[in-house]
């Protein structure tokens, strides 16, 4: 039930992000570590993923949402891979916000792969690394909202978080509302960002 309510929360926040005019929103949906959960829970999560794509894809297209996947989604079952690739194709021309969904994602794996690709192409520099990240074509990460009273990044966008603002809230993700999201954005805009300048 918690996962189902989490999907509903995702739906609400994606709509709110569009209403606020945000350029991009990233959601951590399934980490590479989540495979360690029970077979039943993983199966339930896969079912929810299938249902979410089928139920919300038309709305994404209608609202110009551009879908992007962060992570190795091709490790999922073939029918899910097909659903995701269809969703990517159908939303590719979207001129609204980008919804980046982290699926089978882990930041440490992302960094290892990016470094290997950069080295293969000639050298490991900051620019070369950034070009090989899943987020290469996304705007810089501004804000990470960590729900559920947790105070850790949980292997999420470790490189991208270098100068991102962090906000920790006690609300569980299934209960996170557009009002709390708006409050988080307001708090972010009130902060002074120095990017290491002083």
SS3 21: coil
For residue 80, how many other CB atoms are within 10 A of its CB?
18
If you search the block for the tokens 């009002």, which residue do you land on? 179
> What fold characterizes domain 2-189?
Undecaprenyl pyrophosphate synthetase (3.40.1180)
E strand segments, 3-82: 24-31, 66-70
Closest by Cα among 128, 126, 132, 88 to 110: 132
Per the CB < 8 A criterion, the answer to whether 85 and 91 are in contact is no
pLDDT tens, position by position, 57-81: 999 999 999 999 999 999 999 999 9
SS3 130: helix
Burial of 157 (0-12, 13-18, 19+ CB in 10 A): buried
Tokens of 183: 């409050």
pTM over 0.85: yes
pLDDT tens, position by position, 167-197: 999 999 999 999 999 999 999 999 987 777 6
Instruction: Map out the domains of the chain as residue ranges.
Output: 2-189
pLDDT tens, position by position, 13-55: 999 999 999 999 999 999 999 999 999 989 988 998 999 899 9
Distance of alpha carbon 195 from alpha carbon 4, whole angstroms: 38
């Amino acid at each position: 039930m918690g996962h189902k309510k989490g999907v509903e929360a995702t739906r609400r926040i994606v709509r709110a992000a569009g209403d606020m005019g945000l350029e991009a929103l990233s959601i951590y949906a399934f980490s590479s570590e989540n495979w360690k959960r029970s077979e039943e829970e993983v199966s339930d999560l896969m079912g929810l993923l299938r249902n979410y794509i089928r139920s919300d894809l038309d709305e994404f297209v209608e609202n110009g949402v551009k879908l992007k996947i962060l992570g190795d989604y091709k490790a999922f079952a073939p029918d899910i891979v097909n659903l995701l690739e269809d969703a990517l194709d159908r939303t590719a021309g979207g001129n609204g916000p980008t919804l980046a969904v982290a699926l089978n994602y882990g930041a440490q794996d992302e960094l290892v792969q990016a470094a290997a690709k950069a080295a293969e192409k000639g050298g490991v520099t900051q620019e070369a690394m950034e070009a090989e990240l899943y987020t290469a074509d996304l705007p810089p990460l501004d804000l990470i909202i960590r729900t559920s009273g947790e105070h850790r990044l949980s292997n999420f966008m470790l490189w991208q978080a270098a100068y991102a603002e962090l906000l920790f809230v006690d609300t569980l993700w299934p209960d996170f509302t557009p009002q709390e999201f708006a409050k988080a954005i307001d708090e972010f805009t009130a902060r002074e960002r120095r990017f290491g300048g002083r």
